[in-house]
Chains A and B, each alone.
Chain A
Amino acid sequence: MIAEIGAFAAALALALSLAQGVFGLAASRRDSRAEATAAIAQAAAALCVLAFICLIIVFVRSDFSVAPVAANSHIDKPLIYKIAGAWGNHEGSMLLWCLVSAVFGGVLASTRGSQSFGLWSRAVGVQGLVTAGALIYTLFLSNPFARLDPAPMQGSGLNPLLQDPALAAHPPLLYLGYVGLSVPFSLALAALLEGKADQAWAKALRPWTLLAWTCLTLGIGLGSYWAYYELGWGGWWFWDPVENASFMPWLVACALVHSAIVTERRGSLASWTILLAILGFGLALLGTFLVRSGVLTSVHSFAVDPQRGIAVLVLLAIAMGAGFGLYAWRAPKLAQPSGFAAISRESMLVWNNFGLAVAAGVVLIGTLYPLLVEALGGGLISVGPPFFNMTVAPLLAALFIVLPFGPMLTWRVGDMRQALLRLAPAAALAVLTLIIALVITHWRAAPAIGLAIGVWLIAGGLIYLWTRIRRGEGAAFAKIAVLPLAVWSMSIAHIGAGVLTLGAVAETAFRSEQAVALSPGEGVTFAGRRITMIEIGEVEGPNYSATRANFRVDSASGAGIVAAERRFYPTSPMPTTEVGILSSLDGDIYIALGEAVRDGAGAWSVRLYHNPLVHLIFIGVSMMGVGGLLSFIALTRRRRSAA
C-alpha cells in the first residue's frame, strides 16, 4: 500500500511539474498564472517529499515485495543502512534526483528576490520541466516502487563496500550538487528567454551556484575519503572516469561561482556566466549518464544498464539542445558589459575562469577519448592518471599562482604594485619553501614547486585577511568582529585550496609503501617506525565475520595500537578490507591486511603505507566546503535583509 502511495505521489508530481513548466513559461507579469506557478511548484515539491518518505518506509520495513528493496536490502542490515539503502541504488537515487529538483523548484518559486516577474516565473517553469524529465525517466524506466510477485523471503543485501557512513552521505551530497546546478541552468534559460541578464539576476543565481558547488566539494571530498580508508591501497584520487564525472561539473561550478560575482558586482561577463550555467548542468547530466550507463569500465560499476543510459543521453540532448540553441539565438542580444582594465579584480576572475574552463575541457576530452578511439575502430586504450597529472596539474598550478592577486586588486582598475608589495612576504615564504624542498628532495622540481604553491596560497590568504582586519577601526577584537562574512568565507576557501595542495603534493610525491609477510610477534621497520603484529584472530560483526589483526606502531614520539580487518559478508563473494590507520601530525601509517601466506607458517601478507600529510587533503577540502557554506549563508542573509 505504501509503495502505491509513493508511486501515486510521484505520478501526481509529474503532472504538476509539467503544469509548472507550462504556466511558468507562459506567465510573464504579476498575474494569477504566476501565483499558480508558485503554488504548483510547492505542491510538486511536497508530493516528491511524500514519495521519497514512502520509499524510506518500505526500506525500513524491509518490504521485499518492492523490487529495489529485495535487490538492495536485507533483514539483518543495521537500521541506518536500511534508510541509506533507499538512495544507495539506481531507482532510489533517481527518485532522490527528482526530489532535490522539485524541492529546489519549490524554493525557487518561493524566493523571487529582486528579479523581474518574467525572469523569475520562467526560471520556475524551466525547473518544472527539468523535474518532469527526471520524473518521466524515474517512473517509466526505473520505477523504485515496482512490485515483485512472489515476494522473496529475504533481500540480497547491499554491497558491503557501500555499508559505510561516509558512503551513506556521499550520494545525497553529490546529487544536491548535480541537481543544484539545474537551478542556475533554469535561471540561465530564463535570462535568455527574457533577453536580460542583469545584476538582480546574478544576485539570484549566486546562492544556488554556491550551494551546488559546496555540496559537490563536500560530496567529492567524502567519496575520496571513503576510497582512501575503504579500498585499502592508500590512494585518494585516481582520475577514474566516475571521479572525473563529478570533477568536471565541480570545475565548471567553481568557475561559475566566480564569474557570477563579476556579473553581480559589475554587470560584466553575463553571457559567459549563462554559458557556464548551461555547461555546468550539461556536465552534471553527463556525469549521471557516465555513472548510470556503465559506458565506461570503472570501479564504480554498481549500476549498469545501457537502456537507461540511452534515456539519460536523450534527456541530456534535449536539455543541451535547448540550452545551446537558445544561447546561440539570444545571447548576442544581451546588453554589452561595462569595461575593466587588464589589472583589476575582474580580469583576475577572467583568468580564474580561463584556467578552470580549460581544465574542465581537458578532463572531459581525457575521459571520453578512449570511447572515441574505440568507436572509431582504434582499439582499446587507457587514459589514466599519468595523462591528467601531466596536463591538469600544471594548469591548476598556474591558476593557483595567480589566485592570491585576485582579492588584493580592486574592481575596474587595480594597483598591481601595491598588491605585489603586500604579497611580498608570501612570495618570500614560497621561495624559501621552494629552495628548502629542492635541497631536501635532491632537486625534484615538481613536488618542490607544488609545496611552494601551497605555502603561497596559505600565506596569501592570511595576508589578505590581515589587510582587511587592519582596515577596520577600534580594538583588535572589534576589528575582527566587524569583518564581513564574505571576507571570511573567501579566505577560508582559498586557504583551504592551499592546504589541499600541500597535502596532495606531499602524499603523491613522498608516500612510501611496502608489502611484507608477518606472523604474530614479528615486526618490521618501515618509514622510521617499528611495526609489530601483536595478534590475529576471528571476530564476529552484526552481519559479517572478520579476521582482525592488531598492530603496534613504535615511533620516536611514542607507541600506538591499530587494528586492521578483512571482512566476509555472507551476501558477497569478495572480502572487504577495513584498513588500520594511525594518524599523527606528519601523516598516516596505513595498514591493510591481506591473505594468509600460502605455505601455512602462520604468516599473513600485510601492506604498509606511509602517507605523509594526507590529512591536509581532507582538511583542505573541508575548509573549501566551509568557505562555500559561509558564503552561502552571507548571501542568503543579505537577501533576507534586502527583502
Chain B
Amino acid sequence: MSLIALLVAIVAPAALSDPAQEARAQSLEREIRCVQCENEPIAQSTAEIAADMRALVRERVAAGDNDTEIRAFFRQRYGDFVLFRPPWDARTWALWGAPFLLLAGGLAGVLAVRRRRDGEVEDAVAEEGER
C-alpha cells in the first residue's frame, strides 16, 4: 500500500480529492522536517526522502488519521526531531513556560518603574499647576 502511494506520488503528485484534506496535508507538510536536509520542511525539500514523507502524510490523511495521530506517527518513526512543533514533556516545560515568565517579568518591571514614577509625576504636575 505504502509502495503504491509512493509510486503515485512520484508519477503524478496528485492532490487529495477532498480540499479540506488537501489543506491539512499541506499544513502538516510545512511542520514536518525533512530528515536528510538541513532545517527544511518536507514541503520545501527537493530530496527524495522528503517526497516519500509527503506521500506518507497524504496516505495517513486519506486514511482518516487526525493531525495529532499523524504527528505521533512521524514522531514514533523518526524521533522528536522530525516535528517543528516541539513536544510537550519534561524537557520542554521551560521552553513553553518561557514566554509567560518573560511576560510576567517584564510586566513586573514596568509596574515597578511606574509605581515609582507615579508619585514623582503627581509632584511634578502639581508643581507645574502652581506655576
Contacts and interface: CB of A to CB of B under 8 A. Distances in A.
Interface in A386-442: 386-387, 391, 395, 412-413
Contacts of B4: none
Nearest to A575: B46
Contact of A362 (B12, B13, B99, B120): B99
Contacts of B85: 384, 386-387
Interface stretch (A10-18, A339-347, A541-549): A339-347
A301 B86 contact: no
Contacts of B49: none
B52 interface: no
Contact of A297 (B12, B38, B91, B107): B38
B66 interface: no
A32 interface: no
Interface string A364-394: 0110010001000011111111110001000
Interface string B105-127: 01101100110011111011100
A556 interface: no
Nearest to A381: B80
Interface string B8-34: 001111110000000000100011010
Contacts of A373: 91-92
B86 A380 contact: no
A554 interface: no
Interface string A579-609: 0000000000000001001110001010000
A413 B85 CA distance: 44
B13 A516 contact: yes
Interface residues on B, range: 35 or more
Contacts of B94: 369
A381 B31 contact: no
B95 A386 contact: no
A204 B128 CA distance: 30
Given A380-B80, A384-B31, A517 B11 contact: yes
Given A357-B106, A515-B13, A516-B13, A233 B80 contact: no
A599 B98 contact: no
A413 B125 contact: yes
Given A301-B38, A382-B33, A385-B84, A358 B106 contact: yes
B87 interface: yes
Contact of B98 (A240, A342, A361, A381): A361
Nearest to A227: B44
Interface in B36-90: 37-41, 43-44, 46, 79-87
B3 interface: no
A594 B46 CA distance: 9
B81 A382 contact: yes
Contacts of B38: 297-299, 301
Contacts of B44: 231, 233, 235, 238
B1 interface: no
A362 to B, nearest CB: 5
A597 B110 CA distance: 60
A554 to B, nearest CB: 20
Nearest to B121: A339
A338 B120 contact: yes
Contact of B95 (A299, A387, A513): A387
Contacts of B12: 516-517, 597, 603
A379 B79 contact: yes
B121 A381 contact: no
B120 A339 contact: yes
B75 to A, nearest CB: 10
A339 B86 contact: no
Contacts of B110: 350-351, 354
A85 interface: no
Contacts of B40: 299
Nearest to B84: A384
Contacts of B41: 238, 384
A340 B84 contact: no
A373 B110 CA distance: 31
Given A386-B84, A386-B85, A513-B26, A338 B124 contact: yes
A219 interface: no
A337 B113 CA distance: 11
A382 B13 contact: no
A413 B39 CA distance: 49
B13 A380 contact: no
A361 B102 contact: yes
Contact of B117 (A241, A339, A599): A339
25 contacts: A233-B44, A240-B39, A298-B39, A299-B37, A299-B38, A339-B120, A339-B123, A339-B124, A340-B117, A351-B110, A358-B102, A358-B106, A361-B98, A365-B98, A369-B92, A381-B91, A383-B95, A386-B85, A391-B99, A513-B26, A597-B11, A597-B12, A599-B11, A603-B12, A605-B13
Identify the 7 closest CB pairs spanning chains A and B, nearest first.
Answer: A384-B84, A339-B120, A339-B121, A386-B85, A515-B13, A233-B44, A380-B81
Given A339-B123, A412-B125, A516-B13, 17 more contacts: A358-B103, A358-B106, A365-B102, A369-B95, A380-B80, A381-B92, A382-B33, A383-B86, A383-B95, A384-B41, A387-B85, A516-B15, A517-B12, A594-B46, A597-B12, A603-B12, A605-B13
